Amino acid sequence: MAPLPGNLDPHILEKTLYKMFTPEWLRDTAKKVKYVQRQRKVDPFILFWVLVLGFGAGVQRTLASLRRAYEKESSEELVASAFYNRFTEGLYKFLKECLAHGVADLARGASLTLSEKLQGFKDLVVFDGSIVKLHDMLAEKFPGSRHKAELKIRLAIGLTGNTKSVAIFPGKTSELKTIRIGSWVENNILLFDLGFFKYEMFSRIRKWGGHFVSRVKTGANPTIVSVLKTYKGNAIDLAGKKLQDILPRLKREVIDILVEVEFKASASRAKKSDGGFEIYRPKGAASKIKETFRLVGVLDKETGEYHLFITDILPEQLSPEDVALLYRARWSIEMVFKELKRLYKLDEIPSNKPVVIKSLVMVSMLTLVVSHRILNLMRSLMPEKSERFTPLRWAELFYTSATDLLKLVLALEGIELDAFTMLMFYAGEGIDPNVNRERLLSPWVKAAAITR
């Protein structure tokens, strides 16, 4: 048995999750999104944890088994239809709020190393998306590529918890159509991967008072305006040249330049007026706009290639190395999507109802978030062995222990399974509800009464 810190609270596992999703927060959030109007048999606190540590962990893979799990843990007998009717748009909205809350909690640590340098900004908002394959019969509801049924999940999480957004779209929706730029971006830094790369969107973010950092798309070829700072390396004159023309010849460890880009103004753009922001559309469908952005590059000495980023943040605020480090904050969300389908069986959702599918997608993502929260806890308790907590081994361990963890979390709220509840559960659920169904052995056997 591996050594743990002395005087360790033996209930730290369940207390960590209990604090992450408190009963008060879960119940208040369920009311806020109008999932529940008043307290009934289905308690949002119990339902949440049964879903996340039951279905999400792969233990309960049907709605019927989920209902039985809820009955057993809550000591409440539910009519099947009443439980199934709880899978509504209200539940989906509730789970979206839970996911955003959980990922923000999980990701909050990623901003700590940059917190001092980011003072003055309101939040650091990370965007990412992923595709989930569905059964082909849902292709009409969720059209994807090649006539397949697919969901696209778009996640935007502010690492300080000020911004949270989770949305589901048909699989063929482009990443750019999953974002609406507006006043909410003011004084926020938005982090994007290449799927969201578009000069026009960067321009709109700037017009609304926001900031951004994005990887530079392969083949992007802006014109270099000036060098912001000279670093050690090959002193090639860059002004007026195209990026792709000089990039193969550069030997500098760091690039920090201003570039000019040109793009078509095919959508509404924002401008400032005395009264604030207003929206206008440039005349002519093919109107072209020129903008100047900052482009930084950090040389990868192993590959000899540059990691290039485009931003509007000034050198006085973040150095090129800081920009590259800041972009690594995307790791928290990328890990969620990387393991989402491989570990939590999203392609095995047992329903053809869109609202059930969307809800259970949220559940699977929540399970991964909870799993990684406990993984991070264990690593912090044993820092000298933290690298040996590998993701695959951890996923298998979490899967086998999820139901035990469920009981520990519920026990903190005074919800514990006793012998009588178990007896009543078997009595209620063991009986076939179809009274008139003919049984194979009915003509030949009958039950004998228990004699004492």
Q: Domain span at residue 389?
A: 12-94+352-427
**To which residue do tokens 């394959």 refer?**
133
* 163 confidence band (pLDDT: 50, 70, 90): low
Residue 218 and residue 131 share a domain = yes
Residue 217 and residue 68 share a domain = no
Q: What is the mean pLDDT of residues 53-69?
A: 72
Residue 373 and residue 300 share a domain = no
| Amino acid identity for residue 237 in this structure | D
Instruction: Specify if 164 maps to a domain.
Output: yes
What separation in angstroms does the CA of 407 have from each of 58, 59, 79, 316, 412?
16, 14, 23, 52, 9
pLDDT at 75: 76
Q: Mean pLDDT score of the chain, rounded to an integer? A: 80
pLDDT at 202: 96
Q: What is the C-alpha separation between 96 and 106, in angstroms, rounded?
A: 15
The count of domains in the chain is: 2
Instruction: Specify if 444 maps to a domain.
Output: no
Percent of the chain with pLDDT over 70: 75
**To which residue do tokens 């009955």 refer?**
71
Residue 304, judged by CB atoms within 10 A of its CB (0-12, 13-18, 19+), counts as exposed
Whole-structure pTM over 0.75, yes or no?
no
pLDDT at 279: 36
Residue of 419, 423, 430, 417 lying closest to 46 (CA atoms): 417
Instruction: Specify if 231 maps to a domain.
Output: yes
Residue of 61, 105, 160, 103 lying closest to 366 (CA atoms): 103
* 281 confidence band (pLDDT: 50, 70, 90): very low
* 90 confidence band (pLDDT: 50, 70, 90): very high
Residue 285 and residue 161 share a domain = yes
Q: What is the C-alpha separation between 292 and 224, in angstroms, rounded?
A: 9
Instruction: Specify if 171 maps to a domain.
Output: yes
Q: Which residue has the higher pLDDT, 73 or 208?
A: 208
Q: What is the C-alpha separation between 251 and 20, in angstroms, rounded?
A: 48
- Span of 71-80, 263-272, 439-448 with lowest mean pLDDT: 263-272
Residue 305 and residue 230 share a domain = yes
Instruction: Specify if 158 maps to a domain.
Output: yes
Q: Which of 317, 341, 376 is the last residue of a domain?
A: 317
Residue 298 and residue 201 share a domain = yes
What length does the chain have?
A: 452
- Span of 172-186, 304-318, 408-422, 432-446 with lowest mean pLDDT: 432-446
Token code pair at residue 433: 């509800």
Token code pair at residue 121: 């900004």
Q: Which residue has the higher pLDDT, 373 or 79?
A: 373
Q: What is the mean pLDDT of residues 26-55?
A: 86
Percent of the chain with pLDDT over 90: 31
pLDDT at 367: 86
Residue 88 and residue 38 share a domain = yes
- DSSP annotation of 280 reads E
- For strands 188-192 and 211-215, give the pairing: parallel
pLDDT at 312: 96
pLDDT at 274: 36
**Residue 432, SS3?**
coil
Q: What is the C-alpha separation between 256 and 246, in angstroms, rounded?
A: 14
pLDDT at 318: 92
Token code pair at residue 114: 């940059």
Instruction: Specify if 5 maps to a domain.
Output: no
pLDDT at 434: 66
pLDDT at 1: 54
Q: What is the C-alpha separation between 18 and 25, in angstroms, rounded?
A: 10
**To which residue do tokens 């990039």 refer?**
247
* 336 confidence band (pLDDT: 50, 70, 90): low
Which of 143-157, 314-328, 364-378 ranks highest by mean pLDDT?
A: 314-328
Q: Which residue has the higher pLDDT, 71 or 14?
A: 14
Q: What is the C-alpha separation between 262 and 236, in angstroms, rounded?
A: 24
Residue 106 has pLDDT above 80, yes or no: no
Instruction: Specify if 338 maps to a domain.
Output: no
C-beta of residue 302 within 8 angstroms of C-beta of residue 236: no
Instruction: Specify if 449 maps to a domain.
Output: no
Q: What is the mean pLDDT of residues 102-131?
A: 73
| Amino acid identity for residue 164 in this structure | K
Q: What is the C-alpha separation between 162 and 164, in angstroms, rounded?
A: 7
Q: Which residue has the higher pLDDT, 159 or 397?
A: 397
Q: Which residues contact 125 (CB under 8 A, 6 or more apart)?
A: 156, 157, 158, 159, 163, 185, 188, 189, 190, 191
Residue 212 and residue 77 share a domain = no
Residue 360 and residue 299 share a domain = no
Residue 209 and residue 141 share a domain = yes
